[in-house]
């Protein structure tokens, strides 16, 4: 699978239920290879493997994923922590079998770069900041999708 990384989580650790006293590490990212299709990728493993893999690429990089495991996703549980994707599946990376290679999108396919700027949600499913300000009281307690641009970043 070749795609551009459009999102990425930080590395996290969890107590390993099988080996009491040890930790398992994970991180996930989302890749896109067309305007319509994108998929979440998850990796679990030893700290050294997960940290090394996570540090090997960033959002905007093109990646080639070889030998991922394809799994059905548990939509309700997994989409709390990852972007909602149009696929019923996710990719799982294994330290022993999977390989992730990075390359420049210019070297791979410049069309992939354009995919970085496409929203992952239906364009009709957003609220503007103006809508929220005008209708804030009636929207109280609802989960909303917001499409906005960052104008300034400061301390």
pLDDT in tens, 60-119: 889 999 999 999 988 666 666 677 788 889 999 988 899 999 876 665 667 777 787 777
For the chain, what is the largest distance between any 2 Cα atoms, rounded to a whole number of angstroms? 53
pLDDT in tens, 35-68: 889 999 999 999 999 999 999 999 988 999 999 9
The distance from CA 52 to its chain's CA centroid, rounded to whole angstroms, is 17
Strand partners, 90: 71
At 122, is the pLDDT very low, low, confident or very high (cuts 50, 70, 90)?
confident
Q: What is the pTM of this model?
A: 0.77
- The torsion angles phi and psi of 6, rounded to 5 degrees, stand at -110, -5
- The domains of the chain, with CATH numbers, are 2-115 (2.40.50.140)
């Amino acid at each position: 699978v070749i795609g551009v990384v459009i999102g990425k989580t930080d590395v996290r650790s969890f107590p390993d239920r099988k080996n009491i006293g040890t930790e398992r590490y994970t991180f996930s990212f989302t890749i896109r290879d067309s305007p319509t299709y994108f998929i979440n990728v998850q990796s679990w493993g030893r700290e050294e493997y997960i940290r090394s893999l996570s540090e090997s690429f960033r959002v905007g990089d093109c990646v080639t994923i070889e030998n991922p495991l394809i799994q059905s996703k548990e939509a309700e549980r997994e989409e709390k922590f990852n972007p909602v994707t149009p696929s019923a599946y996710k990719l799982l990376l294994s330290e022993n079998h999977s390989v992730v290679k990075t390359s420049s999108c210019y070297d791979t396919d410049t069309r992939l770069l354009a995919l970085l700027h496409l929203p992952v949600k239906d364009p009709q499913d957003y609220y503007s900041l103006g809508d929220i300000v005008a209708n804030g009281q009636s929207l109280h307690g609802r989960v909303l999708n917001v499409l906005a641009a960052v104008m300034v970043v400061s301390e």
